[in-house]
Amino acid sequence: MQRYFLEIAYNGKNYHGWQRQENAASVQETIEKGLSRLLRNTEILYSAGRTDRGVHAESSFAHFDTDMVIPENFLYKINSMVPEDISIKNIYQPIDNDLHARFSAISRKYIYRCIRYKSPFHTQTHWMCRWQMDLEIMQQCCEIIKNQKDFGTFRKKYGNSKTDICLIKEAYWEDCGDFLYFHIRADRFLRGMVRMITGTIVEAGRGKFNLETFEKIVQSLDVNQASSAAPAHGLYLQEVEYPPNSLILLQDN
C-alpha cells in the first residue's frame, strides 16, 4: 500500500466545508468520488485541515493510500473529474510512508482578506470593511496574540479539540491601500479560531475597545468574550508546511 499526497486548492463558496457530511456537499467527498472513479477503488482522503463552510484554500494537502498504479496523466484526469471550483495542483509521494497530512504538518498559514470599498468583483472573496480602523492598534493586538498560548477565547463553543494550546509563529496585518490582509501562522488552529481572532482585532481597530480590554479578552479564555467571527468568505488556507525533503513531487500542473 503506497501513500500519496495531493496539493489542493478550492473555492469554498459551494461547499459546507472540507469534511464529508451526510446531506451536504463537501470538498472531501467531491474529490474522493473523482479518485474512486479514476483509480477504480474506494479512496479515503485525510486532510491537513478541515476548513469550515465557505472557507477557501489556496494550498491545502490531503493524503490517501492505494495499491492502484497512479497513471502518468493523473492530474489531468482527476481535474477533469472534479468541478471548476476545485483544483488538484500537484501529487507527491512521501519519503516515509507514515507521513500524515494532518499530524505530520509543522505549521499552517491562513490569510484573511478585507477590502475597504464596495466592489462587485470581491463580494464573495473579501470582507468589506469600510470603517476607519487604527492599523497600529491592530498590529499591537497581533503582538498580544503571539504571546498567548491558550486560545480558549477563540474556539467554537462545541468544538471537540482536546487542548486549546497553539503556538503562533507569525501574525500581522498588511496594508495594501484598498485591501487589508491579516496573516497568521501556527502549528495548529482550533475550529473557528482565525475568524474569531480576525473579528475581535477588527473591533479593536474600529475603537470598540482599547488594547488593554483586548488583552483581557484574550486572557479570559471565555469564548463569550470574543467578538463575532469574521465572515467565512474572506478566509483562505494559504500554506501547509511539512518537514524538509519529506515529499517527492510526482506530477505538477
Catalytic residues: 52
Q: State the Cα–Cα distance between residues 59 and 17, nearest whole angstrom.
A: 15
Backbone φ and ψ for 63, nearest 5 degrees, come out as -120, 160
Q: State the Cα–Cα distance between residues 51 and 110, nearest whole angstrom.
A: 11
Contacts of 228 (CB under 8 A, 6+ apart): 199
Residue spans of alpha helices (H) in 10-80: 27-39, 74-80
DSSP SS3 for 218? helix
Interior CA angle at 101 toward 97 and 103, to 5°?
Answer: 95
Q: State the Cα–Cα distance between residues 4 and 231, nearest whole angstrom.
A: 33
Q: State the Cα–Cα distance between residues 172 and 191, nearest whole angstrom.
A: 20
Q: Quick one: cell of 223?
A: 469564548
- DSSP line for 140-178: HHHHHHHT--B-GGGS-TT---S--B--EEEEEEEEETT
Please check whether residue 180 is in contact with residue 205, taking contact to mean a CB–CB distance below 8 angstroms. no
What is the total residue count of the chain? 253
Q: Quick one: which of 49, 39, 6 has its CA closest to 235?
A: 49
